[in-house]
Amino acid sequence: MRSDCFRRWFFVDVVGSRMSLEGKAKDGSAVVGIVGLGYVGIPLALRFAEIGFRVLGFDVNAGRVSDLNAGKSPIEHISHDKISSMVEQGFEATTDYARIPEVDAIIICVPTPLSKYRDPDLSFVVGTMDAAAPYLRAGQMLSLESTTWPGTTEEVLRPYAEKAGLTIGEDFYLVYSPEREDPGNPDFTTNTIPKVVGGATPACLNAGLALYGEIIDTVVPVTSTGAAEMVKLLENIHRSVNIGLINEMKVVADRMGLDIFEIVDAAKTKPFGFTAYYPGPGIGGHCIPIDPFYLTWKAREYGLHTRFIELAGEINASMPDYVVDKLIKALNERGKSLKNARVLAMGIAYKRDVDDMRESPSVFVMERLRDLGADLGYHDPHVPVFPDMREHDFDLSSVDLTPEILADYDAVILLTDHNAFDYDMIRDHAPLIIDTRGKFRDPAAHIVRA
């Protein structure tokens, strides 16, 4: 026992500090700690393990930790096989922060949601730092990947390291590097998505570039952690604002009897100066509905109001009501009311071909339909049972999709356009279709654009 402790002390304090993090990154001996084993943390762990790094994962969710150690994937698009081969290569997950000294890099991928007052909720980041702080040691790199307001790394993370007696840029490296994971997108893998890195000092930046450069094809340095934090917000705000614009254009086009999907498809043939965005029933996922408000909140500290960002948020948030209004009018034209109408919501994950329900606009549509007395069902091959959600509660399971079942509903609302749907069958058997995704392009009396 004593000799084990001695060996660990010797490795951590003597061997560990003798070689720089950059050296350990290059020769592959760096041990990588990933904190937060979710949509972002797991792909990152897989990539480090694939290149041959030893990875130690930390999570507060004990069930998730034991599942991962047993080779089980908690995420639909990541196979169990991938997790079990990572475990075979030496990956281990733990809830025990006392193991932080074993790792050379601590990469934080915990959630950064909004509070109920729509202000940034950094409690998961702060919780991580409170738990890890007693175990920080010289020679380590701390990298935050969670999306957050510019200044978080310097204002929130740096004091923890300094209080531990560490000197940033000399014996401890502080980095911010935003995640750009796009779950379910088959065109990119973790290594082919360029990664932005900002360091608190030039030495911190070099440490970050050295480690991430081993696993990512292109690393993009910026001059500070604040710049890297702002890059991520710009990317997501760019999407939110453009989706807000196209949702507004949809409403105008529809009133003029024009199909916005036809218009976007024609506009995108312009080979320069136009990027296609598509309208929908609202915005979902962990990023686009949330991240813009991290900047809005921080900007207030500087006496600035981010009107553009708020306006896009307002338009996007109004889309579920727009869709429900379309359904009400379509039923009305058929002599029916929404109350007691049988309505099938198609696709309840927040985007195509994933099982992620976070902030899904489908759920907001379903809630309004329930409040108005609709008799509601849903179909989603990726979400067989409506999951436990903090703010939403439905005791529903996905219904089968057959011609008979479709014909038994008064209306179908297409909310998320999964590739698995049989669109021909839906068109042929649903009595009324409210299409929020432009999947039914040929006009028909029973198809309503929304």
Ligand X SMILES: NC(=O)c1ccc[n+]([C@@H]2O[C@H](COP(=O)([O-])OP(=O)(O)OC[C@H]3O[C@@H](n4cnc5c(N)ncnc54)[C@H](O)[C@@H]3O)[C@@H](O)[C@H]2O)c1
d(CA 390, CA 367): 14
User: How many residues sit in the footprint of ligand X (CB under 6 A)?
Assistant: 27
x/- site string to ligand X, residues 21 to 40, per CB under 6 A? --------------xxxxxx
The DSSP 8-state label assigned to residue 114 in this structure reads B
Token pair, residue 372, equals 């108005």
Q: Is the Cβ of residue 41 or residue 320 nearer to ligand X in the bound state?
A: 41
Q: How far is the CB of 40 from ligand X (least distance, A)?
A: 3
Q: Go through 156-166 and write b for each residue having 16 or more CB atoms within 10 A of its CB, e for each that does not.
A: bbbebbeeeeb
Residue span binding ligand X (CB under 6 A) among the ranges 164-172, 178-186, 189-197, 269-277: 178-186
Residue span binding ligand X (CB under 6 A) among the ranges 45-53, 124-132, 219-227, 271-279: 124-132
Point out the residue whose Cβ comes nearest to ligand X: 38
Catalytic residue among 5, 109, 204, 287: 287
410 binds ligand X (CB under 6 A): no
Residue 204 appears among annotated catalytic residues: no
| Cβ(311)–Cβ(244) below 8 Å | yes
353 binds ligand X (CB under 6 A): no
- Among 333, 353, 321, 339, which residue's Cα sits nearest to residue 431? 333
124 binds ligand X (CB under 6 A): yes
Site for ligand X in 278-337 (CB under 6 A): 286-287
Q: What angle do CA 52, 41, 157 make, to 5 degrees?
A: 105
* C-alpha dist (Å) from residue 204 to 18, 172, 224: 17, 8, 10
Residue span binding ligand X (CB under 6 A) among the ranges 18-26, 59-67, 161-169, 440-448: 59-67
| Cβ(36)–Cβ(110) below 8 Å | yes
| Cβ(158)–Cβ(168) below 8 Å | yes
The DSSP 8-state label assigned to residue 411 in this structure reads E
x/- site string to ligand X, residues 62 to 91, per CB under 6 A? --x---------------------------
Site for ligand X in 145-164 (CB under 6 A): 145-147
Q: Is the Cβ of residue 109 or residue 260 nearer to ligand X in the bound state?
A: 109
Q: How far is the CB of 183 from ligand X (least distance, A)?
A: 5
- Among 287, 396, 390, 391, which residue's Cα sits nearest to residue 348? 396
Binding site for ligand X (CB under 6 A): 35-41, 58-61, 64, 109-112, 124, 127-128, 145-147, 179, 181, 183, 286-287
